């Protein structure tokens, strides 16, 4: 997942580590190099002290103090140490479809965390760089939403409304989320709120039959608000945990369609999930921003993540609208969906390429 972005981050991470390691210097007043009396050259100054103390019978307590002093010495990471590598990382992020504003935020955070920080001699440079990259990525991805915890904490039925652009796989995504919730022990009813697109009602009806869940539907062209209202009432009467409401796909630049979607909010959804394609790149960012302004959203689901080798859209969309990713689609089957956990994803991105 996110192969290109992972490779760019891995390369930048290693070069940052090398840059900082190369410029590390001992502070003034360090001990002169001690003679090799053991037949092999000790690798660290602490080891050299240990060898001398052994042969000269220096007090162990005195030796411990010296070794501790050496290990606790620090050097300061300068802006020059990280500057050139950050320029390269900037290009890598942009090439991976990370939006410019998001790239700037990531670089600013890394630069702030690293520049002027003190590194004790003996502490791994890898851990310093990895932590800086991790914090930067998590700062733009946010904490995420655990849908199962969300449902448990809210009054039933929990009403989840799915919105998005035409052709992004919204209805299929609803089916995948249905399976996910079933696997986690929740009961679900579907509302066929897309009453405009030809075949939309039949599509969600087929999904409902295959998944063994009730689909509330009216005839084509009917008021979607009425359909979703009836779905909520059905859920209350039958003590169903979650209502998943479909809506007609909307183009973000069609004001009349966006206004129709606004009417659906009369059912007072607990969660509005915006659905778009990861492969749309920065177009997904623009659309998400328009939807956020016109209709609002609480979380994002990205489809076709398995077809997006770059991976930048996932980070960009979440940062652009200030809302967390909740699910990602990873294939064509009902089980090809993942709850998005920012910490797990960042750990994967910063692992070995």
Q: Which of 68, 108, 61 is nearest to 89 (CA)?
A: 108
How many C-beta neighbours within 10 Å does residue 171 have? 24
What range defines the domain where residue 252 resides? Answer: 147-349
Same structural domain, 82 and 154: no
Q: Classify residue 34: in a domain, yes or no.
A: no
Give the separation between CA 254 and CA 294, rounded to whole angstroms.
Answer: 10
Same structural domain, 273 and 298: yes
Give the sign of the dihedral formed by CA 161, CA 166, CA 168, CA 170: positive
Q: Classify residue 224: in a domain, yes or no.
A: yes
Give the separation between CA 341 and CA 344, rounded to whole angstroms.
Answer: 5
Q: Classify residue 330: in a domain, yes or no.
A: yes
**Residue 131: predicted pLDDT:** 84
Same structural domain, 92 and 65: yes
Q: Classify residue 37: in a domain, yes or no.
A: no
Give the separation between CA 93 and CA 68, rounded to whole angstroms.
Answer: 41
**Residue 166: predicted pLDDT:** 78
Same structural domain, 175 and 266: yes
Same structural domain, 83 and 159: no
Q: How many domains does the chain have?
A: 2
Same structural domain, 135 and 198: no
Give the separation between CA 112 and CA 115, rounded to whole angstroms.
Answer: 6
**Residue 41: predicted pLDDT:** 54
**Residue 260: predicted pLDDT:** 63
Same structural domain, 131 and 158: no
**Residue 74: predicted pLDDT:** 54
**Residue 61: predicted pLDDT:** 46
Same structural domain, 108 and 223: no
What is the mean pLDDT for each group of 10 consecutive residues in the chain (353 residues)? 75 75 52 48 52 47 41 59 76 84 88 69 64 86 88 95 86 96 98 86 95 94 90 97 88 58 79 90 83 83 83 83 90 92 84 61
Same structural domain, 224 and 310: yes
State the CATH number of the domain containing residue 234. Answer: 3.40.50.300
Same structural domain, 151 and 256: yes
């Amino acid at each position: 997942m996110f192969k290109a972005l992972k490779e760019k981050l891995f390369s930048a991470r290693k070069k940052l580590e090398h840059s900082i390691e190369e410029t590390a210097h001992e502070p003034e007043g360090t001990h002169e190099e001690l003679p090799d009396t053991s037949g092999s050259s000790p690798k660290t100054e602490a080891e050299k002290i240990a060898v001398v103390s052994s042969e000269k019978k220096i007090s162990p307590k005195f030796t411990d103090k010296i070794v501790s002093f050496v290990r606790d010495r620090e050097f300061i990471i300068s802006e020059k140490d990280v500057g050139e590598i950050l320029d390269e990382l900037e290009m890598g992020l942009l090439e991976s479809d990370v939006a410019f504003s998001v790239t700037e935020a990531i670089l600013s955070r890394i630069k702030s965390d690293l520049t002027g920080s003190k590194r004790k001699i003996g502490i791994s440079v890898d851990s310093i760089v990895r932590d800086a990259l991790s914090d930067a990525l998590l700062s733009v991805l946010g904490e995420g939403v655990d849908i199962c915890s969300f449902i448990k904490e809210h009054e039933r039925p929990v009403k989840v409304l799915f919105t998005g652009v035409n052709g992004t796989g919204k209805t299929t995504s609803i089916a995948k989320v249905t399976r996910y919730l079933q696997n986690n022990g929740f009961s679900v009813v579907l509302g066929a709120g897309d009453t405009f697109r030809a075949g939309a009602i039949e599509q969600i009806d087929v999904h409902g039959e295959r998944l063994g869940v009730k689909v509330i539907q009216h005839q084509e062209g009917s008021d979607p608000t009425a359909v979703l209202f009836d779905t909520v009432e059905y859920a209350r009467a039958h003590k169903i945990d979650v209502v998943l409401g479909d809506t007609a796909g909307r183009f973000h630049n069609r004001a009349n369609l966006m206004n129709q979607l606004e009417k659906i909010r009369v059912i007072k959804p607990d969660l509005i999930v915006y659905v778009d394609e990861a492969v749309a790149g920065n177009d997904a960012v623009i659309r998400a921003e328009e939807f956020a302004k016109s209709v609002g959203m609480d979380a994002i689901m990205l489809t076709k993540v398995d077809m997006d080798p770059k991976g930048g859209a996932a980070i960009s969309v979440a940062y652009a609208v200030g809302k967390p990713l909740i699910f990602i689609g990873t294939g064509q089957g009902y089980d090809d969906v993942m709850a998005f956990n920012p910490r797990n994803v960042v750990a994967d991105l910063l692992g070995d390429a």
